[in-house]
């Protein structure tokens, strides 16, 4: 399970230092893809599950095949290095406008890496969120 908000600086090679909890979850490898204005990070199992659900939706006529094609093509395998860092692909960082200052979020079954300014702006736009009904 991935949780929390972690502010980080990418190094000159685009590597992200992961919190210990993320390292253990992603130790077996991960996939990065462009996801709703940020970079999503999934374990191999979660990525496979997402692709299988998308493929089933395409077969059932619930969504066009372009969604599966786009998501599958965007997924790129990454691994955690010995220092607990994850290399974020430069092309994907550029496509989402990611600078050096980022925010890593744990969103239960995935991680999200946001450009810090974009994340702060999104938070300002959303205002308060009430989760009492789910607790």
pLDDT for 135: 75
pTM for this prediction: 0.92
All domains in the chain, ordered by first residue:
2-134 (3.40.1550.20)
* Cα gap 2→110, rounded to integer Å: 6
List 85's β-bridge partners, or say none: 17
* Cα gap 15→54, rounded to integer Å: 29
Best CA proximity match to 15, nearest among 75, 97, 98, 74:
98
- pLDDT tens per residue across all 135 residues of the chain: 999 999 999 999 999 999 999 999 999 999 999 999 999 999 999 999 999 999 999 999 999 999 999 999 999 999 999 999 999 999 999 999 999 999 999 999 999 999 999 999 998 877 677 777 677
Query: What's the number of CA atoms in the CB half-sphere (13 Å) around residue 42?
Result: 18
């Amino acid at each position: 399970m991935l949780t929390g908000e972690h502010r980080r600086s990418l190094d000159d090679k685009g590597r992200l230092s992961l919190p210990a909890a993320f390292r253990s979850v992603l130790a077996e490898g991960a996939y990065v893809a462009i996801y709703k204005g940020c970079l999503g990070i999934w374990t191999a199992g979660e990525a496979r599950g997402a692709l299988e659900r998308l493929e089933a939706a395409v077969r059932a006529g619930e969504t066009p095949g372009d969604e599966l094609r786009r998501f599958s093509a965007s997924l790129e395998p990454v691994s955690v290095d010995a220092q607990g860092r994850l290399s974020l692909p430069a092309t994907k960082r550029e496509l989402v406008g990611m600078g050096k200052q980022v925010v890593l979020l744990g969103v239960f079954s995935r991680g999200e890496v946001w450009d810090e300014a974009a994340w702060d702006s999104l938070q300002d736009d959303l205002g308060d969120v009430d989760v009492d009904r789910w607790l």
